[in-house]
A and B are shown apart, each in its own frame.
Chain A
C-alpha cells in the first residue's frame, strides 16, 4: 500500500508484475487494469498519468530544462514536452474516420445478399399459392363482393356503377 502510494506520487506504473514481499505475506499483486490509465478524451483533457512513463535521457534533460524559463524552449522542444505528457492532440483525437463508408457499403451488400436469398426462396422453397388466388376464383370473388354490396357508401361497391355494369370513371 505504501509502496503503491509512493509510486503514484512519482507517476510511474512499473509495478505490474514485480511485487515487494513484506512480512512473509506479500503485497497483493497489482494488475494493470487497476492502475491509473492514460486516455485521450475531450471531456478529460488532463489524464491521471503522463503518456510516456519511462523517459529517455534526452527527455529527462528536457524535463529539467522545463523547470527554467519556457521562453528559452524552442518549438520542437515544446512539442516534445507535449508528446511526453500526451499521446494525441485534440485535433488528432477528434478527427473522424472514413469507416462509415465501409459500414454503409456493408449494409448495402447484405441487403443485396438477402434479396438474392429471398428470390431463391420464392423459386425453390415455397410451394404453390392457394387455389383461391386463381383468376376464375378471383373473378367470382369480386362478383360476390359486388352482389353483397361491400362498403356501398364510400368504399368498394360505391366505385361500381351497377346500371352500366362497370367501374365508375
Chain B
C-alpha cells in the first residue's frame, strides 16, 4: 500500500507555519500543503485552538509548531535539529521558546488587534516592535561571541528554524532595524542561502497573494 503523504495545514504569512515548512524541507519530507484561513469553519476539528500550523500524519494530528517539529525530529531523524550536548540543546530550546512564547504570541495579538479594530496601526506596530526588540536583544546577548555559521553551530538547528521566520517577519512586516542585531543579521543572510529556507518563505507558498494584484 502506498504511503499517504503527510499534510501540513498552513497559512502563507504565518511565521509558525514557516518554522514547520523549514523543518520539513530540511528533513526532505514530501508533504501536501493545505492552506487555511482564520475564518475556516472546519479547521476547528483539526485544531481546537484554531491556530496554524497543524500536521496530519495518517490518522494522527498534532498542532503547535514546537510539538510538530519535535515529532518530526523523532520520526525523521535525518538532519537532526537538536544537538546531543545538553547545554547546546538547552540553548536551542531557550531561543526557540523566546521566539514562540515571548515574541510571536504578542506579535499575533497585536496584528489581530489591528485587524479587529481594537488597536490603531501605531499601537499595533509599537507593541510588535517592543516584543521583537526585547527578544532579539536578549538572544543577541545570549549568543554573544558566537563565531559559528549559525546560532549554535555550523549546522542549522532548532534555534535557527525558529529565528529565520521571526527575523523575516521583523524585517519585511515590522521595520525592525537589524543593524542593532549583528549576529541575527548575519545568521539571516546565511539562512536565506539555503534552499530549505528559501522554499519555505511566505511569498513562495501556494496561498500567497499573487504579486500582480
Are A and B subunits of one complex? no
Query: B-side interface residues toward A, CB under 8 Å?
Result: none
